[in-house]
Amino acid sequence: MIDIKLIRENPELVKENIKKKFQDEKLALVDEVAELDRKFRESKTRADALRGDRNKISKSIGMLMREGKKEAAEAAKQQVKDMEQELLNLEKKEEEFSAVIKEKMMVIPNIIDPSVPIGKDDSENVEIERFGEPVVPDYEIPYHTDILTALDGIDLDSARNTSGNGFYYLLGDVARLHSSILSYARDFMINRGFTYVIPPFMIHGDVVNGVMSFAEMQNMMYKIEGEDLYLIGTSEHSMIGRFMGRTVQKANLPYTLTSYSPCFRKEVGAHGIEERGLYRVHQFEKQEMIVVCEPEDSPYWYDQLWKNSVDFFRSLDIPVRTLECCSGDLADLKVKSCDVEAWSPRQKKYFEVGSCSNLGDAQARRLGIRIKGEKGNYFAHTLNNTVVAPPRMLIAFFENNLQADGSVRIPEPLRPYMGGQEVILPKEEKKNTL
């Protein structure tokens, strides 16, 4: 949510930003909010004046009674009573104006960073940099579910019976590898100075409204029937919600946190073959990064966050690239965002495995997260980024570590978490070694 002062003082800037995001249907909201804000301030000015006059007249009533001017005192009492009724009406109007203004302001997109490329959708995102040499081996790389099936590591059929499409069972060494990746990611971030947190996996509706746009909520969140609780789509939701309504001390900033959680997402819409299997699912686990910082420090932390993801994947010998999200691909709360994409030797292209976002003060403004500074209080900036999100990362892992004989190499950083195991064997080969 942007500052209302921007609409009061520079509505054309807000409109230009809406155009850059190709959301022209929202242009009318700027004028609507400006008019509602004018009426709100008129009501407030009149109410403040009434309160002042009412207080003066109220004080005069006692004096009039002592002077025996009973008729004048009664007239003053009636005047105060009339003022109180008008005040009640004005206060009701203020509440109504305020509620409608907030509702419309929540839909107006945040002001994007000047460096964001202008484009309509993700097809116009811009590659920034590549890390590691992408390799296509001289043997076939099967579809990821076929690789996992050969390793006796997945059961999709049973999951469809118990839970429906978009769910899975991971088994044996594959399940252990999944947990090992998350444990390694946790320690990787702790070693970079981040504080490890396990947050609540359900949050109230006011937190949901504070951390994401309405469109995102509709497409992502599962609501608990009959309760004001939602299953989180990512730990960012409850991690930022932790600071709701708080005024943090400047001396304590930045908060640099890394959190583990399961994630639950509706994943509305039809998806192609490449997004089936483990790519787009309703339930997965993730290690996340969260930063709450001074406004002037958020560009620095944005760069640090995406670099952490790149370094994590490169430590496992997986080639990656960074992709700058264009204006039309930015969610409404985001100031700037980039995707980290991993190399798929089977598809011979990169695919998304994480996203880094600077949200400016949008979430802080919605949730009331302020910094106590020397010259008063002001809103913090919040950022988030994915360290790693199995099972999508498993696709990149198994494709890039599959060997010609069907076994899968385990990179050295993961071996301590796998009990020293260096390779995962296909189920047929396992039988032969028994």
Give the total number of structural domains in the chain: 2
Rg (CA), the chain: 28
111 within a domain of the structure (yes/no): no
Amino acid at 385: N
Q: What is the CATH number of the domain that holds 17?
A: 1.10.287.40
110 within a domain of the structure (yes/no): no
Examine the pLDDT at 218 and tell me if it is beyond 90: no
CA dist., res. 372 & res. 378, Å (int): 7
CA distances from 434 to 137, 257, 352, 383, 428 (A): 30, 45, 39, 50, 10
Examine the pLDDT at 133 and tell me if it is beyond 80: yes
Examine the pLDDT at 332 and tell me if it is beyond 70: yes
114 within a domain of the structure (yes/no): no
Q: Looking at the structure, do residues 303 and 340 belong to the same domain, yes or no?
A: yes
Q: Looking at the structure, do residues 197 and 322 belong to the same domain, yes or no?
A: yes
Q: Looking at the structure, do residues 78 and 154 belong to the same domain, yes or no?
A: no
Assign 344 a pLDDT band (cuts: 50, 70, 90).
very high
Assign 272 a pLDDT band (cuts: 50, 70, 90).
low
Assign 229 a pLDDT band (cuts: 50, 70, 90).
very high
Helices (H) and strands (E) in the chain, counts: 14, 18
Task: Summarize the confidence of residues 177-199 as an average pLDDT.
Answer: 98
Q: Looking at the structure, do residues 211 and 241 belong to the same domain, yes or no?
A: yes
pTM (predicted TM-score) = 0.89
Compare 373 and 197 and report the one with higher pLDDT. 197
pLDDT, residue 374, reads 85
CA dist., res. 295 & res. 254, Å (int): 10
CA dist., res. 318 & res. 376, Å (int): 47
pLDDT, residue 136, reads 96
Q: Which residue has the tokens 């959708």?
A: 121
Give the 3-state secondary structure of residue 407: coil
Q: What is the CATH number of the domain that holds 292?
A: 3.30.930.10
pLDDT, residue 427, reads 84
* 81-119 confidence digits (pLDDT tens): 888 888 888 999 999 999 999 999 999 999 999 999 999
What is the DSSP secondary-structure string of 115-143? TSPP-SSGGG-EEEEEES-----SS----
Task: Point out the domain boundary residue: 42, 76, 105.
Answer: 105
Element (H, E) at 184: helix 172-190
pLDDT, residue 15, reads 98
Cβ–Cβ under 8 Å, residues 167 and 155 = no
Token pair recorded at residue 230 = 């939602």
The CB-based long-range contact list for 82-87 (8 Å cut-off, 24+ gap) reads 83/50, 83/53, 83/54, 83/57, 84/54, 86/50, 87/47, 87/50, 87/51, 87/54
263 within a domain of the structure (yes/no): yes
Q: Looking at the structure, do residues 307 and 355 belong to the same domain, yes or no?
A: yes
Q: Looking at the structure, do residues 245 and 138 belong to the same domain, yes or no?
A: yes
DSSP 229: -
Q: 136-140, 166-170, 246-250, 373-377: which range is least confident on average?
A: 373-377
DSSP 61: H
Q: Looking at the structure, do residues 189 and 313 belong to the same domain, yes or no?
A: yes
Q: Looking at the structure, do residues 44 and 127 belong to the same domain, yes or no?
A: no
Q: 44-58, 121-135, 226-240: which range is least confident on average?
A: 44-58
285 within a domain of the structure (yes/no): yes
Average pLDDT, the chain: 93
pLDDT, residue 430, reads 61
Task: Summarize the confidence of residues 369-376 as an average pLDDT.
Answer: 92
pLDDT, residue 25, reads 97
Q: Looking at the structure, do residues 89 and 199 belong to the same domain, yes or no?
A: no
CA dist., res. 271 & res. 265, Å (int): 14
| Cβ neighbours for 141, distance < 8 A, ≥ 6 positions apart | 147, 345, 346, 399, 402
Task: Summarize the confidence of residues 211-240 as an average pLDDT.
Answer: 90
112 within a domain of the structure (yes/no): no
Assign 67 a pLDDT band (cuts: 50, 70, 90).
confident
117 within a domain of the structure (yes/no): no
Q: Looking at the structure, do residues 264 and 302 belong to the same domain, yes or no?
A: yes
71 within a domain of the structure (yes/no): yes
| Cβ neighbours for 277, distance < 8 A, ≥ 6 positions apart | 143, 144, 145, 156, 395
Q: Looking at the structure, do residues 101 and 133 belong to the same domain, yes or no?
A: no
Examine the pLDDT at 255 and tell me if it is beyond 90: yes
Supply angle C-alpha 391, 195, 393, rounded to 5.
Answer: 15
pLDDT, residue 65, reads 80
Task: Summarize the confidence of residues 67-83 as an average pLDDT.
Answer: 81
Q: 55-69, 184-198, 255-269: which range is least confident on average?
A: 55-69
Please report how many Cα atoms fall inside a 13 Å half-sphere around the Cα of residue 17, on the Cβ side: 24
pLDDT > 90 in the chain, percent: 80
Token pair recorded at residue 142 = 């099967």
For the chain, the farthest-separated pair of C-alpha atoms sits apart, in whole angstroms, at 112
pLDDT > 70 in the chain, percent: 97
Token pair recorded at residue 363 = 């979430």
CA dist., res. 14 & res. 328, Å (int): 15
Examine the pLDDT at 433 and tell me if it is beyond 70: no
Q: Looking at the structure, do residues 135 and 97 belong to the same domain, yes or no?
A: no
List, edge to edge, every strand of the sheet that includes 222-223: 202-203, 230-231, 222-223
CA distances from 365 to 21, 37, 251, 432 (A): 21, 18, 20, 62
pLDDT, residue 202, reads 97
DSSP 402: B
Please report how many Cα atoms fall inside a 13 Å half-sphere around the Cα of residue 166, on the Cβ side: 14
End-to-end Cα spacing for the chain:
61
Task: Give the domain range for residue 247.
Answer: 122-433
Cβ–Cβ under 8 Å, residues 128 and 321 = yes
Examine the pLDDT at 395 and tell me if it is beyond 70: yes
DSSP 152: T
* 295-321 confidence digits (pLDDT tens): 999 999 999 999 999 999 999 999 999
